[in-house]
Amino acid sequence: MQENEKEIAGFSKMTKRDKIVWLAKNFLYANPVEVVKEFAEYWHDNVEAQKLLDGFSENTLTNFPVPFGIAPNFKINGEIFAVPMVTEESSVVAAAANAAKYWSTRGGFKAAVLSTKKVGQVHFIYKGDKQKLFGFFQEIKNDLKLGVKQITAKMDERGGGVLDMEIFDFTDLEKDYYQLRAYFETVDSMGANFINSCLEEFGKLLQEKVVASKLFTEQEKALEIVMCILSNYTPECLVRAEVSCKVEELGTFDNGALNAEEFAAKFERAVNIARIDPYRATTHNKGIMNGIDSVVIATGNDFRAVESCAHTYACRDGVYRSLSHCKVEDGVFRFWLDIPIAVGTVGGLTSLHPLAKRSLELLGSPNAKKLMEIIATVGLAQNFAALRSLTTVGIQAGHMKMHLTNILAGLKATQEESEAAKKFFEDKTVSVAAVRDFIESLRKNED
């Protein structure tokens, strides 16, 4: 018996329906039949497809639909892509598509992978002679590598595997704490399972070898593994996306109020502000991640990993800064983004989730490097679109159009009412109350 009705034992064993009924009674205080009906509306018609989705997570009640859209006309290294984007935020896909079209007539985007190294760590406690540990590690390093051959065989065949490893002494920061840091090439897979399996084996082997060695005292042999896990910080899994054109090719903005030179200068200043001020940098980078996450999600990759890595990279010199850069020099406008992106195109959800699989097909079944280039490009395009709006007409003009559409949907406006509202609000400020008043007045007039 549970003491509190909000607590439960065996929740995971209950059927979906029973889970929903229990939640409706104890948390929603709503009619369970109605709640089941509501959640069931998002169940997949196809039982097998639903089973697959349920298998991705635990304690599932239903599916949570998020729009899957396309930003066409992305010209990247001369190739045209229609990029799948999964996001709930209005204007994101439209802005990416807009920037893609804009740059497609100005030479398109260039993108290049600069490095693909992944990182993993074995955190351990060693109470003893440091020099002895470091010397011994050099001796056994190759044995550690050989000791994971069974795990790495397939990866080695594909051109990946363990690249190198080193030991770090952190004892000045945490008593007796050392770290084995290993570097990996995981080719087209994100490689989390592969890396973690290697690390756990490294941890075991390190312990075994220290215990078996005559070099160490009993206290030193008590080397303790704290944990073995990959690091999502992969500063050397880096990609660059960029655009450039002559300043005069940028065109005019704000109905001619801003010429190309003025725009370029204002844009460059906006980027510089995000390079010096963490408050602005956070929002600036959030805009970049609007694009990046959308493609990462659409292709079945881990957006939390990409997010956390990007933000650590953004403050690698001790201050959180813009991930993008801009330089206007000798009449040329150049705008670029350097960002570490660890993604895969094989393994994980990439082939299991039917829509992730389709997304990758839409992108021409890229390898991981090409996917990194596409994702970084969308981030840059998103950033360009945001800064172009911010430094010209302001962000609200575009946002409010979308906002109006959402408010109208919320008010269940008819097509006629929506059209009238869009015309009415062309030169007025949109707010939920103002739109509601407008629709109510239309409806009253009809009565």
Which of 298, 300, 373, 364 has its CA nearest to residue 336?
A: 373
CA angle 257, 260, 263 (to 5 degrees): 70
Count CB neighbours of 263 within 10 A.
22
The minimum distance between CB 287 and ligand MEV, in angstroms, equals 3
Count CB neighbours of 370 within 10 A.
20
Quick check: 395 binds ligand MEV (CB under 6 A)? yes
Q: Are 416 and 446 in contact (CB under 8 A)?
A: no
Give the total of residues touching ligand MEV (CB under 6 A).
Answer: 9
The minimum distance between CB 108 and ligand MEV, in angstroms, equals 22
The minimum distance between CB 268 and ligand MEV, in angstroms, equals 14
290 versus 377: smaller Cβ distance to ligand MEV: 290
Backbone angles phi, psi at 389, to 5 degrees: -65, -45
Q: Which is catalytic among the residues 16, 399, 401, 422? A: 399
Write out the binding residues for ligand MEV, residues 193-232 only, by CB under 6 A: none
Quick check: 337 binds ligand MEV (CB under 6 A)? no
The minimum distance between CB 244 and ligand MEV, in angstroms, equals 20
In whole angstroms, give the CA distance from residue 332 to residue 28. Answer: 59
Stretch that binds ligand MEV, among 15-23, 182-190, 284-292, 416-424 (CB under 6 A): 284-292
Q: Are 345 and 334 in contact (CB under 8 A)?
A: no
Tokens of 5: 């009705």
Quick check: 284 binds ligand MEV (CB under 6 A)? yes
Stretch that binds ligand MEV, among 147-155, 210-218, 281-289, 350-358 (CB under 6 A): 281-289
What are the E-state strand segments in 46-174?
Answer: 68-76, 79-86, 110-113, 118-125, 161-169
Residue in 26, 283, 367, 441 binding ligand MEV, rule: CB under 6 A: 283
Quick check: 393 binds ligand MEV (CB under 6 A)? no
Tokens of 249: 């090719």
In whole angstroms, give the CA distance from residue 348 to residue 371. Answer: 15
The minimum distance between CB 95 and ligand MEV, in angstroms, equals 8
Say what angle helices 278-298 and 303-314 make with each other, to 10 degrees: 150
Residue in 106, 141, 286, 422 binding ligand MEV, rule: CB under 6 A: 286
Quick check: 379 binds ligand MEV (CB under 6 A)? no
Taken in order 431, 432, 435, 436, the sign of the CA dihedral is: negative
In the chain, what is the greatest distance between 2 CA atoms, to the nearest angstrom? 95
Quick check: 345 binds ligand MEV (CB under 6 A)? no
89 in active site: yes
Residue nearest ligand MEV, CB atom distance? 287
Residue in 108, 147, 191, 287 binding ligand MEV, rule: CB under 6 A: 287
Quick check: 294 binds ligand MEV (CB under 6 A)? no
Write out the binding residues for ligand MEV, residues 35-94 only, by CB under 6 A: 89
Stretch that binds ligand MEV, among 157-165, 206-214, 242-250, 286-294 (CB under 6 A): 286-294
Quick check: 386 binds ligand MEV (CB under 6 A)? yes
Stretch that binds ligand MEV, among 66-74, 278-286, 336-344, 358-366 (CB under 6 A): 278-286
192 versus 386: smaller Cβ distance to ligand MEV: 386
174 in active site: no
Residue type, 183: Y
Stretch that binds ligand MEV, among 21-29, 40-48, 110-118, 283-291 (CB under 6 A): 283-291
Relative to beta strand 238-246, strand 161-169 is unpaired
Q: Which is catalytic among the residues 16, 25, 286, 311? A: 286
Which of 304, 265, 241 has its CA nearest to residue 111?
A: 241
The minimum distance between CB 274 and ligand MEV, in angstroms, equals 8
Q: Are 86 and 66 in contact (CB under 8 A)?
A: yes
In whole angstroms, give the CA distance from residue 67 to residue 59. Answer: 23
Quick check: 396 binds ligand MEV (CB under 6 A)? no
In whole angstroms, give the CA distance from residue 269 to residue 390. Answer: 12
Separation of first and last alpha carbons in the chain: 57
399 in active site: yes
Rg of the chain over CA atoms, in angstroms? Answer: 27
Residue 204: strand, helix, or coil? helix
The minimum distance between CB 388 and ligand MEV, in angstroms, equals 10
286 in active site: yes
Quick check: 290 binds ligand MEV (CB under 6 A)? yes
Stretch that binds ligand MEV, among 135-143, 237-245, 282-290, 333-341 (CB under 6 A): 282-290
Count CB neighbours of 278 within 10 A.
14
Footprint on this chain of ligand MEV (rule: CB under 6 A)? 89, 283-284, 286-287, 290, 386, 390, 395
For the annotated catalytic residues, the residue numbers are 89, 286, 302, 399
